[in-house]
A and B are shown apart, each in its own frame.
Chain A
């Protein structure tokens, strides 16, 4: 197929310049880019899960503690509740945002923040207890993978919380400008994404861990 034909074309009938006043949609461009970022972040988690898969055979624990000894799915379920509560609170925030309800957005954000912080506190508490019991990432390859995978997720949560703090300030200071709304939307994506990752962590580390 050749790219063009040499049929004479009436110059008045062709459109050579764009006068449609189209402005590209800032919000959708921003969101699209964020999806791309999440794709690469998802790859990071996928590979960490792969590493955990490779390093969670019983010999990977080098005769030291194995997950069945120390994972507490009940406790992790509490964390799940906290995180999903936080996501739910963020959902209310988005509803309030749609209604232009500033007070609603702020209280929703506080809710999400506090529940997220609760998740993190539970996680830190768990880690501290494990370390105290001599269950450290230095003990074996399996434990290295366990800690790095779970704590990489926790680090993402930490950044999410920091971001929420920033949004609290920005919403109260600027109100609902395009930029602020854009950030609220991407933060929602991020937060849901972290919740999804947590589901995988819960299943493949805490539940499956009981069987290793």
Chain B
């Protein structure tokens, strides 16, 4: 099953998408969606290929048929016979209802299969790849206006705008927001999941290839939204251990009080990563609870206006904040 799936994916991927690729005249690497680096994104592509293959067949044939009719029955010089009364045929009715019904039934099977395979709360494609005794990594994700905070509870560390994960290890996420809704998305690794205030969603990924991948928020969240990106570094297990130790030595601590400061609206144009050690136990749940109890970090009116002026003001403000 798995072999077949892989083969099919490879085969059809290039066939079905060839025309699109020609448009840009280069490899798949620009096409994040066609260049998956882990089983989650890979399965997404697999289902896309199946769906496109089925639909393109039907739609393609229909298109050709219509073009043929347009040509053959044109009034000026068309060769077709004109039958001004013909407006019904049981045989055709059966076909035009039948084909879509069969196609939808076929696609529904794969749609349901895929929904379970890629259920972000419990994706079977990752379970398939998990070796017994494997220790998954847990990461808590909090979005603020407008930054990403990745907390590694086991290591009591946190990073901002940078997600570092070991390759070949399942990573399980819990996500929430301190302000508005965002969408967690790393095109080459895992599809989107909403990140909502006062609520907790889950997602998971497994990365097969060491490298750096773009992650970003896919759901509009306000003025700083377009800059709300994070680098996803997939590293080897040893490198990951080194990294955690390095961050654990970082001088900045993250208690809820510090988070309260951190969560104030901030347009993070530079996207510079920041690191925290000594992250308060249960910070994620604490933030979630506070937001459920009505805590908000409201937006100052000034942020709705001229951006350059605002950035100047913000930079002045935050430089005093970090220096004390």
| A-to-B contact residues, CB < 8 Å | 1-3, 6, 62
Contacts and interface: CB of A to CB of B under 8 A. Distances in A.
10 contacts: A1-B87, A1-B88, A2-B85, A2-B86, A2-B87, A2-B88, A3-B87, A6-B85, A62-B292, A62-B293
Interface of B: 85-88, 292-294
B88 to A, nearest CB: 5
Given A1-B87, A2-B87, 9 more contacts: A1-B88, A2-B85, A2-B86, A2-B88, A3-B87, A6-B85, A62-B292, A62-B293, A62-B294
A3 B85 CA distance: 8
Top 7 nearest A-B pairs (CB, nearest first) are A2-B85, A2-B87, A1-B88, A2-B88, A1-B87, A62-B293, A3-B87
Contacts of B87: 1-3
Contacts of A2: 85-88
A43 to B, nearest CB: 27
Contacts of A1: 87-88
Nearest to B87: A2
B199 to A, nearest CB: 12
A171 to B, nearest CB: 53
Contacts of B85: 2, 6
A2 B85 CA distance: 6
Contacts of B86: 2
A82 B86 CA distance: 65
Nearest to A4: B85
Contacts of A6: 85
A85 to B, nearest CB: 43
Contacts of A62: 292-294
Contacts of B88: 1-2
Nearest to A5: B85
Contacts of B294: 62
Contacts of A3: 87
B152 to A, nearest CB: 29
A2 B293 CA distance: 67
Most interface-central of B85, B86, B293 (chain A CB within 10 A): B85
Nearest to A140: B294
B93 to A, nearest CB: 11
A141 B294 CA distance: 11
Nearest to B84: A2
A62 B292 CA distance: 8
Contacts of B292: 62
A62 B295 CA distance: 13
A6 B86 CA distance: 13
A1 B86 CA distance: 8
B210 to A, nearest CB: 44
A30 B230 CA distance: 61
A89 to B, nearest CB: 46
Nearest to B85: A2
A59 to B, nearest CB: 8
A1 B292 CA distance: 62
A62 B294 CA distance: 9
A1 B87 CA distance: 6
A2 B88 CA distance: 7
A116 B86 CA distance: 63
A208 B87 CA distance: 57
Contacts of B293: 62
Nearest to A3: B87
Most interface-central of A2, A3, A6 (chain B CB within 10 A): A2
A88 B292 CA distance: 47
A207 to B, nearest CB: 29
A57 to B, nearest CB: 13
A5 to B, nearest CB: 9
A189 B224 CA distance: 53
Nearest to A1: B88
A63 B90 CA distance: 64
A2 B87 CA distance: 6
B277 to A, nearest CB: 34
Nearest to B294: A62
A6 B88 CA distance: 17
A175 B121 CA distance: 69
A6 B85 CA distance: 10
B203 to A, nearest CB: 24
Nearest to B293: A62
A176 to B, nearest CB: 52
A2 B83 CA distance: 12
A121 B87 CA distance: 65
